Chain A
């Protein structure tokens, strides 16, 4: 701290803003100051506020401030029926809205013993994987832009648009899908769905090569990300990280593989694992995940069955009293839904375990000691969706 202290003033550590713990280094020439990054900063992807304690350009401590987009979705859920609640989960992690819907639907199905027809399961898997690719494409674009490559942003969005257009034909929405329902989905896929998926699959292979040519081995990307923001395997586990963030640190955990839901156990795919847990590994894990999703899509499209897309619809969805849990792998990690039912039409309590809060938690540890520009790279490769944290 560079504020002079008088004997009557409280000790410097008591004057630190909330959340900061370290004492002033006291080293000569230390020029510590606090900086608000966000809630309007372009690299905080929405409304995350990071209070950064800096010594020159070096980050000493970071404290994230949350709650700018809190909408009390879980509380709202208590006054809505289960099917009405579905559309609110779109608004948590809006880039994985299909997968969030799926998580809630699965909990309801588990509670009521509803089965899903074969075609319905295939639709679920394919739509989830398309959503994952779509989300990672947007991440890739935003990552490029955070590091200063605006071209990447446009290319990422251009490729994503193809999948978004497919979703638009499928369920009428581009972001807040509200498509899956207990027992299947609210409508069958349009006639040209499979040909279009195959088209996207072919184009994705080309696109990923192009993206690799643009950024993956680019010396600027490498120097901005390699060895930056390393997270060890142990720390990733103790923070409860999941998804690509944990896998880049070498945690071999993917809900699709280790607690398979829907029909994921029928498809062949690899779970990419990093070794260093740095920003570059997180980057490479996501790039590889897109390839694996393309693989799943290819297999699913080849054996897409005929038949009904949804089990017989129930007039009301009334869960027997008890508690139910389901977990799915969204583009960012494990999304759990915990429902406590008292046997009524509406949940007694509905709780989401969303991946982003735990994925954001290690940021203080990762950023400390680095430069402020590294903080941007770390934030970008953590791929935070703030409305999912605040709910």
Chain B
């Protein structure tokens, strides 16, 4: 499909008149926004921090949900560690009182994580999620070490 050709043969006066018309047409749009604030979409962040919500599937940093007793679903199977493309996860295992291999520390390096979702897809026990709270997004820090996180709350459980 060819684009419509551009007419060139107008008289100079007609052309100038059309140009002014075009400028006014553009102006009408911008002025329209001034009197139709319903089409304005600005959100005031961080003022709206308290009410800010993210979609269900939003990919913030990786979090490990704990239930009321402080238990998590992780069995230290290391599938997420293997799925991670850049080694952001290290599963350090330990033995519990019954000599069973359990999760010692879930080390998660937010500094190298690309938030790609592959670890969550790999986990067969639904033990980790990508956070969609405002705290899971605001990760700025002055020190890189502050981005090395341990996701399980108590060691050896």
- A residues contacting B by CB (< 8 A) are 80, 83-85, 87-88, 151, 158, 161, 168-173, 176, 178, 186-187, 190, 210, 213-215, 217-219, 226, 270-275, 280-281, 284-285, 288
Closest-CB distance, A364 to chain B (whole angstroms): 26
Q: What residues on B are CB-neighbors of A187 within 8 Å? A: 57
Q: How far is the CA of A168 from the CA of B19 in the complex (A)?
A: 41
Contact with B26, one of A215, A274, A275 (Cβ below 8 angstroms): A215
Q: How far is the CA of A285 from the CA of B2 in the complex (A)?
A: 9
Judged by DSSP, the binding face of B is loop
Query: Quick one: given A158-B41, A271-B1, A272-B1, are A172 and B59 in contact (CB under 8 Å)?
Result: yes
Q: What residues on B are CB-neighbors of A169 within 8 Å? A: 55-57
Closest-CB distance, A215 to chain B (whole angstroms): 7
Do residues A273 and B25 form an inter-chain contact, with CB atoms below 8 A?
no
Q: What residues on B are CB-neighbors of A213 within 8 Å? A: 25-26, 28-29
Q: How far is the CA of A214 from the CA of B27 in the complex (A)?
A: 8
Contact with A173, one of B6, B22, B115 (Cβ below 8 angstroms): B115
- B residues contacting A by CB (< 8 A) are 1-3, 5-6, 18-19, 22-23, 25-26, 28-30, 41, 54-59, 83, 85, 114-118, 121, 130, 132
Query: Quick one: given A87-B114, A186-B121, A213-B28, are A273 and B3 in contact (CB under 8 Å)?
Result: yes
Contact with A275, one of B2, B54, B56, B132 (Cβ below 8 angstroms): B2
Q: How far is the CA of A280 from the CA of B58 in the complex (A)?
A: 39
Do residues B26 and A214 form an inter-chain contact, with CB atoms below 8 A?
yes
Q: How far is the CA of A87 from the CA of B23 in the complex (A)?
A: 44
Contact with A218, one of B5, B26, B117 (Cβ below 8 angstroms): B26
Do residues B26 and A270 form an inter-chain contact, with CB atoms below 8 A?
no
Q: What residues on B are CB-neighbors of A275 within 8 Å? A: 2-3, 5
Q: What residues on A are CB-neighbors of B23 within 8 Å? A: 218-219
Q: How far is the CA of A84 from the CA of B3 in the complex (A)?
A: 42
Contact with A170, one of B25, B57, B114, B116 (Cβ below 8 angstroms): B57
